[in-house]
Amino acid sequence: MSNRGAIDETTLQAYIDGELSKVDCVAVEEAIERDPLLAKQLALYDGDKSRLAEIYGRMHVEPLPVKWLELIESKPRKTSKSYLQGIAVIAAVLLIAIGIPSLYQRSARPQESIIEEALAARSESIPVRQTIAVTASAHASAADRAVAAALSMHVRAPDLSRMGYALSAVRVYDGVPGGKSVELLYQKANTTVFALYLRHPSSPARFDQFKQGRLRVCIWQDDVLGTVMTGEMSAAEMQRLASLAYTGLES
C-alpha cells in the first residue's frame, strides 16, 4: 500500500471501520495528504457513517434486540413495501445502538442451515436446477420472473447499480426448506462478486453480520423471507448493500 493504486474503495471503507493495521493506516493517511480527490472520497464515506449515527443514535432504547425481534415476529405475513422498509430501519438501528463489532462476533450456536446453503451455493457445491445468465434487459425480466416463481412471492432481483453492482446470473435450487431457493449473483467491475441467497425461513427472525474466512456474511431474516448475503468487502459496504438489496426485493 505505497501508492494510490492500492488505496481503493474497499481499503478506504476498511480504514473508516478501523479494520486496517497501524502500518496500513499510516499508508492511507499519507496517500490522503498527497491526493485531494482521495481525501474528498474518504470524507464522503465518513459523512455517510456519521449521518447514520446521527439519525439512528437518538433512538437508543434498552433492551433493543428483544423488543424489536418481538415486533418483527408479531407482524402479519405480508411483503408490502412499508413492511420491508420497516425491517430495514430496525436492522440499521441495531447496527448503531448495539455496536457493529458485537454483531460480527461468532456465537457458540450451530450455524443455521440457510447460511450453510448460501455458502455451498456460492462455492458451486450443490446441484443447480436452473441458471439464467443476465446480459441484457430482457434477461433481467426473465430473472425477475424466475425469482418470483421459485419463491411464490411478489419479489424481484434488487437493483444494486447505485453501489456499482450489476446482476450477472440467477440460480434456482430444489430440495431446501420451503421448496426452492434462489441465488442472485452480482458483479462489480467484473471482479468483486456479491451473492444474495433467498428462500423461505425455517428458523427465527435474525439480523447478523460476521466474517467467514475472507467472506463477509450478512443474514437478514424475518418470518416471511430469509436472505443471506456474501462478499469480500468491508463492514460498511456490506451494510449499505444489505439495506439496498433487502428493500429492493419488493416488486
How many structural domains does the chain have? 2
DSSP state of 25: H
Residue type, 27: A
Cis peptide preceding 204, ω within 30 of 0: no
Residue 239 counted as domain residue: yes
Q: Report the run of H or E that residue 239 belongs to, with start and end.
A: helix 235-248
59 band by pLDDT with thresholds 50, 70 and 90: very low
Chain length of the chain:
251
150 assigned to some structural domain: yes
Same domain? For 118 and 35 the reply is no
d(CA 167, CA 31): 33
Indicate whether 223 and 113 sit together in one domain: yes
C-alpha cell at 181: 431457493
Which domain covers residue 178, as residue numbers?
104-248
203 within some domain: yes
Residues 49 and 108 in one domain: no
Residues 114 and 27 both lie in one domain = no
Name, in order, each residue with C-beta under 8 angstroms of 29's C-beta and a sequence gap of 6 or more. Answer: none
Q: In this structure, what CATH number is given to the domain that contains residue 130?
A: 3.30.200.100
pLDDT digits (tens, 9 = 90+) for 131-148: 999 987 768 888 899 999
Same domain, 148 and 212: yes
**What does DSSP assign to residue 79?**
-
Count other Cβ atoms within 10 Å, centred on residue 125.
Answer: 8
> Rounded distance, CA 25 to CA 145, Å?
46
Whether the pLDDT of residue 63 is over 70: the answer is: no
Structural domain contains residue 73: no
What is the pTM for the complete model shown? 0.60
